[in-house]
Amino acid sequence: MLNRASFRPWWRTAAIYQLYVRSFADGAGDGIGDLAGARARLPYLASLGIDAIWFNPWYASPMADAGYDISDYRAIEPAFGTLADADALISEAHALGIRIIIDVVPNHGSDQHPWFRSALAAGPGSAERARFWFRPGRGIRGERPPNDWQSIFGGPAWTRVTESDGSPGEWYLHLFAPEQPDFNWGCPDVRAEFEDVLRFWFGRGADGIRIDSAALLTKDPALPDLPDTGPGTPPGPAHPYTDRDDVHDIYRSWRAIADEDETGSRVLIGEIWLPDAQRLARYVTPGELHTVFNFPYLSCPWDAGALRRVIEQTLALNAPTGAPATWVLSNHDVDRTVTRYGRADTAFDLERRRYFHSLPTDLELGTRRARAAALLTMALPGSVYIYQGEELGLWEVQDIDDDLREDPIWRRTNGADPGRDGCRVPLPWSGTEPPFGFSPDSAVASPWLPQPKEWRDLTVAAELASAGSMLRLYAEGLRIRRAEGALRGTGMRWLPAPDGVLAFDRPGADGPAVRCVVNLSPGPVPLPAGGTVLLASGPLDRGLLPPDTTAWLRAEP
């Protein structure tokens, strides 16, 4: 149960479970996950030992981009349930000591949002169109897009509308799919609307906000072509739409809204993919966001040197602002870890998904590494994110039939980019065949994406019953992380280690240190002397730590 005493900045060390509603659990029996399903499984999440849930967008949406195209920011998508379900879910989660983070999508809405529909009807030059980016086209008849920007999902970032008299009309900007028109953040209505949406959900008990595409909101109002600076224009003040300086003002006012709650327990988390770590750190300066997702860590290959560098950089960048680090291995946009770590190239990059999917994978090796990576991640100082299904060791489903794929990335690139459906397949809960308890027995439809039949060994029920399962490892890791003060502190000290091995201590404030050793080298290595093993990601070999294995030890004082 949450009580006032627990309203410390809980998010600094929290374990946060990412719940992708459509694929978590289906209560209604229509093959689509929903809030009733999530409510029924809250006890599962409580026993897993997480502190908070981040829900991917649950609002009314035509689902052109799986809910990231929102038509009403104050209503629940009917396929997921009702506002009353959300209220009940929030209070039931709170009763279990679990906080709720919701996903706010401020860069763009849906083309079915009432604002966009009225903008279409109101015509060029109207106040309604000023809430978006409508512009006449180039060329004699306006037949070419207003500038050369490309959609992040492929194709041009502009779509031409037909005016109400039937004539070809203005173009509007969409950095993602055409069904996701970008809001104009220079327009005061947009700012006021989102401030109200934030208050609406905080008022209903939300404990935090994950901000979608947080570096893209503000645009150069001149909408210039991208400057020709060789291989891309770096994000920053000169970029027409990525990481511009004026975006920070928005987050300072959002922070003030979060801080209207005097207990200081509401958190703002930014989704910001930036190659320049210094610029990323600007978002967590005092008075702005509390944390940002650590995508450099997520993208890092399974390599001791590369991991150590990214961990050090993360901690160094966060140190001056006092913002806690976040540690993220996976989410609903990237390849699942067991698949990724089983490839010859273990990095990940959104723009090279096609290449990564072309590489064969060794799932056994990938699983061993994913287990070791989970314990490394849980041992680092800060908060940790767990994308649903990672705790079961699910793999990326790469053989989905083309006609079942839903991701707009796949469609807009004509299949050149396989997209993200493979990490969004509904979870297996129990039983020996699909739908594996994802839907109730009375269901009238199959899960919206088919589950591999081999997942019979990876159901929650099967893994609870199996001592060496990924689920038991996660639950035990989270339990120890909660129980050991050292793992919830901020200190971390690297220890000397052989090549290919990461070893560090998490010193306790007044108790013993917890030591973490990760073997990324090809051969077994001895464990440091004088410690007791608390947990290991795989069996030890006569006291030696095998390759691709992590051990946690209690260091002797």
Active-site annotation holds for 212: yes
When the beta carbons of 85 and 333 are compared against ligand GLC, the nearer one is 333
Q: Is 65 in the site for ligand GLC (CB under 6 A)?
A: yes
Question: Nearest approach, Cβ of 122 to ligand GLC (angstroms)?
Answer: 25
Q: Please provide the DSSP assignment of 148-201 as one string.
A: --B-TTSSBSEEEEEPTTSSEEEEEE-SS-TTSPBB-TTSHHHHHHHHHHHHHH
User: Would you say 500 and 545 are in contact if contact means Cβ atoms under 8 Å apart?
Assistant: no
- Taking CB under 6 A as the criterion, which residues in 252-281 touch ligand GLC? 271
List the one residue out of 295, 336, 539 whose CA is nearest residue 455.
336
When the beta carbons of 51 and 212 are compared against ligand GLC, the nearer one is 212
Q: Is 296 helix (H, G, I), strand (E, B) or coil?
A: helix
Report which residue type is found at 22: R
Q: Which residue in 212, 288, 396, 407 is the catalytic one? A: 212
Question: Nearest approach, Cβ of 409 to ligand GLC (angstroms)?
Answer: 8
Alpha carbon distance, N-terminus to C-terminus of the chain: 35
When the beta carbons of 405 and 515 are compared against ligand GLC, the nearer one is 405
Q: Is 272 helix (H, G, I), strand (E, B) or coil?
A: coil
Sheet holding 291-292, edge to edge: 291-292, 267-270, 208-211, 99-104, 52-55, 15-19, 383-387, 326-328
CA-to-CA distance for 425 and 317, rounded, in angstroms? 35
Structure tokens at 187: 């327009």
DSSP summary character for residue 249 = H
User: Would you say 398 and 418 are in contact if contact means Cβ atoms under 8 Å apart?
Assistant: yes
CA-to-CA distance for 200 and 378, rounded, in angstroms? 33
- Taking CB under 6 A as the criterion, which residues in 433-472 touch ligand GLC? none
When the beta carbons of 52 and 211 are compared against ligand GLC, the nearer one is 211
List the one residue out of 323, 328, 185 whose CA is nearest residue 267.
323
User: Would you say 549 and 468 are in contact if contact means Cβ atoms under 8 Å apart?
Assistant: no
Torsion of CA 306, 310, 316, 317, to 10 degrees: 140
Q: Is 421 in the site for ligand GLC (CB under 6 A)?
A: no
When the beta carbons of 37 and 408 are compared against ligand GLC, the nearer one is 408
- Spell out, one character per residue from 192 to 231, where the chain touches ligand GLC: x when CB under 6 A holds, - when not: --------------------xx------------------
Q: Is 396 in the site for ligand GLC (CB under 6 A)?
A: no
Candidate list 24, 55, 59, 68; residue touching ligand GLC; CB under 6 A: 68
Residue nearest to ligand GLC (CB): 68
Q: Please give the size of the binding site for ligand GLC, defined by CB under 6 A.
A: 9
CA-to-CA distance for 157 and 154, rounded, in angstroms? 8
CA-to-CA distance for 454 and 457, rounded, in angstroms? 6
Q: Which residue in 196, 220, 259, 260 is the catalytic one? A: 260
When the beta carbons of 61 and 439 are compared against ligand GLC, the nearer one is 61
* Locus of tokens 């599962």: 44
When the beta carbons of 212 and 505 are compared against ligand GLC, the nearer one is 212
Active-site annotation holds for 312: no
Question: Nearest approach, Cβ of 417 to ligand GLC (angstroms)?
Answer: 13
Structure tokens at 557: 């004082």
DSSP summary character for residue 552 = E
Question: Nearest approach, Cβ of 163 to ligand GLC (angstroms)?
Answer: 27
Candidate list 105, 311, 471, 473; residue touching ligand GLC; CB under 6 A: 105
Q: Please provide the DSSP assignment of 40-108 as one string.
A: HTHHHHHHHT-SEEEEPP-EE---TTTTSS-SEEEEE-TTT--HHHHHHHHHHHHHTT-EEEEEE--SB
Q: Is 505 in the site for ligand GLC (CB under 6 A)?
A: no
- Spell out, one character per residue from 160 to 199, where the chain touches ligand GLC: x when CB under 6 A holds, - when not: ----------------x-----------------------
- Spell out, one character per residue from 297 to 316, where the chain touches ligand GLC: x when CB under 6 A holds, - when not: --------------------
Q: Is 333 in the site for ligand GLC (CB under 6 A)?
A: yes
CA-to-CA distance for 153 and 176, rounded, in angstroms? 5
Question: Nearest approach, Cβ of 214 to ligand GLC (angstroms)?
Answer: 9
Question: Nearest approach, Cβ of 458 to ligand GLC (angstroms)?
Answer: 24
When the beta carbons of 213 and 519 are compared against ligand GLC, the nearer one is 213
When the beta carbons of 333 and 463 are compared against ligand GLC, the nearer one is 333
> Could you list the residues that contact ligand GLC (CB under 6 A)?
65, 68, 105, 176, 212-213, 271, 332-333
Task: Name the residues annotated as catalytic.
Answer: 212, 260
